[in-house]
């Protein structure tokens, strides 16, 4: 088979711009081969190179005494005491999920799980943050069913509990759904595995599933906008095999325990290419690959196809040559492919040999480090128009619009499709605020949450970015967990548009400020740009995944409000209706500015909750829907009614930040009042739990009727 000639069309078809190709010629000093062009395209696309985002990502806070390993490896590593670490990351699989929802979402879960166990950690929890188009859009229903089944199909079989997540619906996602998958694992802090190769002449070993043509060019596809040729892109989506991934995880962890693994990298985007270059570059070594040794499941695959395949459930390792037999035995036990496909070499070369011929011969370190880096022009987002007067609404009508709508109703239909309890350590199921697991064999707990409010980020990227982190912080605190660290999944439109780039820069500014002030550094993350269809971008959606530690799991805040308990509000009265859920869902308006986030106040109020958790039976943070929705959800979870002595639309539905609603006994309320006075935290009694009605300042409805609406709305829309 002869390779195609390198023509301008072929270059453009690889997503390479003219100046980028000129740079390739400069590096090579000759025209690249077809395989080499494919390798450059894979290494330099947005998905792998972060060329538009890198200079801004460098500004994020990534260090702290708790951080063992920040961004740059497969996942972040954070100390949780007693010689243990939590390893976690969130990653998008947006474009593939829109094209083929089941497999796109499934392989998104597979990819993030692999990132975690590649570091030597056994995955113990997963979450997913999903954004879909309007329920009435013709594709939405199919996407919801496919994505949820795909996530469940993969995670349930692999055997990791899903403990949290979020889902939203908005017209801006009609042409681009978002699937952000999070996974966390536990490892001994001194047994973390990294990707840097070391030692010349060591075997490079291929592990896991065989290589096919699936996903060839997938990362390049994910770095372009969609248009009406989208159906033609289906062959670029990979197919997942969770059973193989489960075996790959067990075999990898077993092999790591033998001491045979020098370095390891999973094959994700741009498969063999990215993983080999990463290991060589970080170790300051060259790599020679002999493609004839690569296990394949299709005939006559070319070097180009093998280097760009995104077949799933594969790993690349550099092994201690003396332990090859031990390694082979482990993989044979699990019936997985094990093949020596190359070696580390002293020269700075990435040498690809196939059928006895050299198909690529590239300077490895230059290939890794010379990806273009752009400081793209950006425009700051203009200040939002003031909201103006908002008419008073009937509080019950307003609440019905929220809890009967797909954005704020109960998520039981989704959650029931995920195994939430496998591994036997789940303490708090997904639902309100954060999910919690016990660290196996200890009495420590870890809490997990994923948050962002795209309405806010669009109106005011800086405050919206801060708010995403602040809400994650509050969700952890509301469970009695001390926030530890953060992973970010930054979903935006086309970065070549200054308005979009302005959203990105602003949101990162806000996220950075909040992560620094709340001491939850970013330890891993992923950027997904070009979420646009026919020129229309998504609302900016920087999803924040956060992890908190509960030193003694029995001290988590996880109770149910009891009849007669008081409702206490931390953080003062609601005033801010700009960009609120009430405005969006009840009045169909997107107007005003996002609420401002005072990070010092957030911290003080969070510390107050943590310091006084012994007095608190039940707690939730105030976010979308303000006090009214928080009171409803807290009461509904307890199977009780609630009466709030609060009137006024802004007071009930305002989304001012830094607030929590809690339930406690009369005696505990007294103690909390004293503590709040000393800590300068505004704490007010706003009502009482009990009875069978919801009463919002006089407006009243039967709790059973509201609860039925809340619990059936999702199934009514999509079931």
Partner 1 sequence: MKAAVLVFPGSNCDRDLAIAFRAAGFETAMVWHKETELPADVDLVGVPGGFSYGDYLRCGAIAARSPIAAALKAHADRGGFVFAPCNGFQILTEAGMLPGALLRNAGLKYICRTVGLRVEETESAFTSRYDRGQVIDVPIAHHEGNYTADDETIARLNGENLVAFRYVATPNGATDGIAGVLSPNRRVLGMMPHPERAADPLHGGTDGAALFAGVAAALVSA
Q: Are 555 and 632 in contact (CB under 8 A)?
A: no
Q: Single out the segment in contact with partner 1 by CB under 8 A; choices: 92-100, 168-176, 410-418, 499-507.
A: 410-418
Q: Is 128 in the site for partner 1 (CB under 8 A)?
A: no
Instruction: Rule CB under 8 A: choose which of 152, 283, 464, 687 binds partner 1.
Output: 152
Q: Is 708 in the site for partner 1 (CB under 8 A)?
A: no
Of residues 225-284, those binding partner 1 (CB under 8 A) = 241-244, 246-247, 250
Instruction: Rule CB under 8 A: choose which of 272, 415, 462, 672 binds partner 1.
Output: 415
Write the binding mask 314 to 353 for partner 1: x where contact by CB under 8 A, - elsewhere.
-------------------xxx------------------
SS3 658: coil
Whole-angstrom distance, CA of residue 697 vs CA of residue 454: 30
**Residues with a known catalytic role:** 47, 93
Q: Is 158 in the site for partner 1 (CB under 8 A)?
A: yes
List Cβ neighbours of 584 (8 Å cut-off, separation of 6 or more).
407, 455, 590
SS3 571: coil
CA 11, 12, 18: angle at the middle one, nearest 5? Answer: 80
Q: Is 126 in the site for partner 1 (CB under 8 A)?
A: no
Tell me how far, at minimum, the Cβ of 420 lies from partner 1, in Å: 6
CA–chain centroid gap for 380, Å, is 26
Q: Is 473 in the site for partner 1 (CB under 8 A)?
A: no
Q: Single out the segment in contact with partner 1 by CB under 8 A; choices: 157-165, 199-207, 631-639, 675-683.
A: 157-165
Burial 320-332 (b: 16+ CB within 10 A, else e): beebbeebbebbe
Of residues 539-578, those binding partner 1 (CB under 8 A) = 553
How many residues bind to partner 1 according to rule CB under 8 A? 33
Tell me how far, at minimum, the Cβ of 150 lies from partner 1, in Å: 11
Tell me how far, at minimum, the Cβ of 159 lies from partner 1, in Å: 3
| Segment holding 547, helix H or strand E | strand 541-550
Cα 505 to Cα 444, 475, 497, 598: the distances in Å are: 37, 25, 12, 20
Cα 396 to Cα 96, 271, 625, 645, 687: the distances in Å are: 41, 53, 12, 14, 16
Find where tokens 């997107």 sit: 590
Residue whose CB is less far from partner 1, 313 or 624: 313
Whole-angstrom distance, CA of residue 688 vs CA of residue 634: 11
Residue whose CB is less far from partner 1, 243 or 666: 243
Q: Single out the segment in contact with partner 1 by CB under 8 A; choices: 152-160, 281-289, 449-457, 616-624.
A: 152-160
Tell me how far, at minimum, the Cβ of 424 lies from partner 1, in Å: 4
Q: Is 444 in the site for partner 1 (CB under 8 A)?
A: no
| Segment holding 38, helix H or strand E | helix 34-44
Residue whose CB is less far from partner 1, 87 or 427: 427
Whole-angstrom distance, CA of residue 713 vs CA of residue 220: 39
Whole-angstrom distance, CA of residue 301 vs CA of residue 467: 49
Tell me how far, at minimum, the Cβ of 102 lies from partner 1, in Å: 13
Q: Single out the segment in contact with partner 1 by CB under 8 A; choices: 126-134, 292-300, 414-422, 627-635.
A: 414-422
Q: Which residues pair with 340 in a beta bridge?
A: 205
Q: Is 420 in the site for partner 1 (CB under 8 A)?
A: yes
Binding residues for partner 1 (CB under 8 A): 149, 152-153, 156-159, 241-244, 246-247, 250, 333-335, 412, 415-427, 438, 553
């Amino acid at each position: 088979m002869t390779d195609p000639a390198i023509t301008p069309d072929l270059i453009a078809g690889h997503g390479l711009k003219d100046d980028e190709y000129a740079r390739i010629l400069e590096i090579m000093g000759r025209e690249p081969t077809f395989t080499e062009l494919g390798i450059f395209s894979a290494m330099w696309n947005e998905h792998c190179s972060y060329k538009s985002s890198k200079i801004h990502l460098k500004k994020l806070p990534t260090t702290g005494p708790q951080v063992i390993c920040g961004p740059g490896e497969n996942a972040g590593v954070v100390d949780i005491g007693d010689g243990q670490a939590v390893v976690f990351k969130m990653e998008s699989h947006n474009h593939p999920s829109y094209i083929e929802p089941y497999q796109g979402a499934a392989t998104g879960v597979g990819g993030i799980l692999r990132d975690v166990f590649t570091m030597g950690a056994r995955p113990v929890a997963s979450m997913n943050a999903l954004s879909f188009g309007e329920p009435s859009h013709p594709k939405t229903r199919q996407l919801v069913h496919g994505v949820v089944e795909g996530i469940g199909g993969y995670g349930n079989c692999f055997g990791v509990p899903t403990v949290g997540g979020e889902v939203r619906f908005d017209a801006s996602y009609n042409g681009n759904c978002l699937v952000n998958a999070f996974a966390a694992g536990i490892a001994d802090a001194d047994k973390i595995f990294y990707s840097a190769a070391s030692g010349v002449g060591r075997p490079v070993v291929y592990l896991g599933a065989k290589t096919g043509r699936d996903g060839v060019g997938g990362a390049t596809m994910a770095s372009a906008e969609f248009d009406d040729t989208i159906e033609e892109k289906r062959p670029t989506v990979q197919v997942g095999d969770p059973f193989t991934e489960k075996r790959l995880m067990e075999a990898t962890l077993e092999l790591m325990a033998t001491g045979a693994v020098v370095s390891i990298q999973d094959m994700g985007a741009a498969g063999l290419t990215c993983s080999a270059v990463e290991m060589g570059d970080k170790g300051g070594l060259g790599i020679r690959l002999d493609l004839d040794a690569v296990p394949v499941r299709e005939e006559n695959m070319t070097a180009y196809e093998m280097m760009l395949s995104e077949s799933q459930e594969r790993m690349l390792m550099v092994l201690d040559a003396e332990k090859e037999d031990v390694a082979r035995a482990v993989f044979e036990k699990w019936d997985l492919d094990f093949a020596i496909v190359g070696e580390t070499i002293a020269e700075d070369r990435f040498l690809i040999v196939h059928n006895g011929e050299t198909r690529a011969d590239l300077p490895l370190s230059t290939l890794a480090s010379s990806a273009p880096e752009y400081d793209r022009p950006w425009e700051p987002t203009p200040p939002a128009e003031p909201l103006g007067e908002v008419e008073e609404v009937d509080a019950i009508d307003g609440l019905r619009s929220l809890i009967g709508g797909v954005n704020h109703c109960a998520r039981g239909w989704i959650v029931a499709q995920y195994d939430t309890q496998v591994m036997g350590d789940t303490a708090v199921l997904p639902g309100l605020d954060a999910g919690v697991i016990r660290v196996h064999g200890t009495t420590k707990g870890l809490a997990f949450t994923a948050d962002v409010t795209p309405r806010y980020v669009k109106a005011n990227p800086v405050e919206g970015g801060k708010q995403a982190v602040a809400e994650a912080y509050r969700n952890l605190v509301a469970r009695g967990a001390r926030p530890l660290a953060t992973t970010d999944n930054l979903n935006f439109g086309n970065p070549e548009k200054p308005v979009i780039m302005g959203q990105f820069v602003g949101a990162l500014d806000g996220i950075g400020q909040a992560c620094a002030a709340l001491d939850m550094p970013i330890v891993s993350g992923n950027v997904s740009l070009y979420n646009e269809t026919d020129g229309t971008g998504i609302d900016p959606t920087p999803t924040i995944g956060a992890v908190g530690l509960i030193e003694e799991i029995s001290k988590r805040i996880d109770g149910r409000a009891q009849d007669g308990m008081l409702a206490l509000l931390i953080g003062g009265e609601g005033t801010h209706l700009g960009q609120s859920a009430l405005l969006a869902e009840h009045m169909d308006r997107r107007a005003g500015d996002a609420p401002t986030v005072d990070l010092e106040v957030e911290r003080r109020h969070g510390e107050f909750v943590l310091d006084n958790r012994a007095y608190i039976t039940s707690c939730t943070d105030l976010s979308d829907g303000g006090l009214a929705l928080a009171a409803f959800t807290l009461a509904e979870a307890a199977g009780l009614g609630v009466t709030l002595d609060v009137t006024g639309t802004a007071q009930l539905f305002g989304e001012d930040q830094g607030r929590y609603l809690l339930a406690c006994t009369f005696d505990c309320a007294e103690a909390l009042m004293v503590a709040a006075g000393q800590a300068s935290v505004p704490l007010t009694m706003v009502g009482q739990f009990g009875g069978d009605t919801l009463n919002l300042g006089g407006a009243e409805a039967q709790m059973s009727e509201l609860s039925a609406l809340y619990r059936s709305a999702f199934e009514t829309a999509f079931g």
